[in-house]
């Protein structure tokens, strides 16, 4: 029998929230589990589907346009209480751009419409007049202790929303290049308990394998397993990470 518990990944609204390869994050989590002999199951859940969060180890929400955000918000709001409870109990969540915005209090579009969010995170987003687009390099807030692992996150952003965090929240990292949360305060993303929000598409996890492994480690710990994850041969992933760093920082 495998020493690892099976991990179940819930992919929420895969048909509506999937920009710039976001689905690749789920593929990366699956692959990194498979390479270690950890069994995974992916549940793809959309409007009206039954979601039993007690069965989910990692919940993933990708990015989407304002239009898609308004389509799904009613459905998402019905799940608010269950999601809030699960987050309090340590559910691991990765949310990108539009998905990240929806975990906050609201997203005010360029036309002035206020799309309500779940309010699970004390943050809010207001569309600016200029789109924030381009490659991003972020210095991680909690640097990795291992010199083997990159200290940065790299990705691609494209959003008009500017996100502001309440004082109780910490950013995922500091912007070295790009705009991040709002292009003003130098912050990118958020970490609250085991919830990660970020503007980084790309997809994010294949070229940031250290973040992928952090999510897996947290999910396994929540199932009571405290074995350290065996290292993988990440030469290719690190080269992809380094290629973005060089392209952006040397320019
Ligand atoms: N609609 C949001 C914005 O433009 C989210 C976009 C995205 O998910 N890339 O701010």
CB atoms within 10 A of CB 46: 15
Q: What is the pTM of this model?
A: 0.96
Q: 99 CB less than 6 Å from ligand 1? A: no
How do residues 50-93 score in pLDDT, each as one tens digit? 999 999 999 999 999 999 999 999 999 999 999 999 999 999 99
Q: 202 CB less than 6 Å from ligand 1? A: no
Catalytic residue numbers read 97, 201
Distance 232 CA to ligand 1 centre (A): 33
How do residues 231-241 score in pLDDT, each as one tens digit? 999 999 999 99
Report CA-CA distances (Å) from 129 to 111, 159, 162, 223. 10, 11, 10, 44
Burial 86-125 (b: 16+ CB within 10 A, else e): bbeeebbbbbbbbbbbbbbbbbebeeeeebebbbbbebbb
- DSSP secondary structure letter of residue 79: T
Distance 192 CA to ligand 1 centre (A): 21
Extract the tokens encoding 31.
Answer: 């692959």
| Exposed / middle / buried, residue 80 (Cβ in 10 Å: 0-12, 13-18, 19+) | middle
Average pLDDT, the chain: 95
Q: 153 CB less than 6 Å from ligand 1? A: no
CATH topology of domain 7-249: Rossmann fold (3.40.50)
Going from N- to C-terminal start, the domains of the chain cover: 7-249
Q: 213 CB less than 6 Å from ligand 1? A: no
């Amino acid at each position: 029998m495998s020493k690892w518990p099976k991990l179940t990944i819930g992919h929420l609204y895969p048909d509506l929230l999937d920009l710039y390869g976001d689905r690749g994050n789920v593929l990366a989590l699956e692959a990194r589990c498979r390479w270690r002999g950890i069994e995974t199951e992916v549940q793809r859940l959309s409007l009206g589907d039954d979601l039993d969060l007690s069965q989910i180890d990692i919940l993933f929400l990708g990015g989407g346009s304002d239009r898609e955000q308004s389509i799904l918000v009613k459905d998402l709001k019905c799940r608010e209480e269950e999601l809030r409870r699960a987050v309090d109990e340590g559910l691991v969540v990765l949310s990108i751009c539009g998905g990240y915005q929806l975990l906050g209090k609201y997203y005010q579009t360029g036309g002035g419409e206020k799309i309500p969010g779940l309010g699970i995170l004390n943050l809010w987003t207001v569309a600016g007049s200029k789109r924030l687009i381009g490659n991003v390099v972020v210095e991680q807030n909690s640097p990795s202790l291992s010199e083997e692992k990159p200290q940065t996150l790299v990705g691609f952003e494209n959003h008009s929303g500017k996100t502001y965090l309440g004082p109780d929240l910490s950013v995922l990292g500091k912007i070295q290049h790009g705009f991040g949360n709002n292009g003003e305060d130098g912050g990118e993303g958020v970490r609250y308990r085991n919830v990660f929000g970020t503007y980084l598409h790309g997809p994010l996890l294949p070229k940031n394998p250290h973040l992928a492994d952090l999510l897996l480690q947290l999910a396994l710990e929540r199932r009571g397993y405290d074995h350290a994850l065996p290292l993988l041969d990440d030469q290719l992933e690190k080269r992809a990470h380094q290629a973005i760093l060089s392209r952006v920082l040397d320019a």
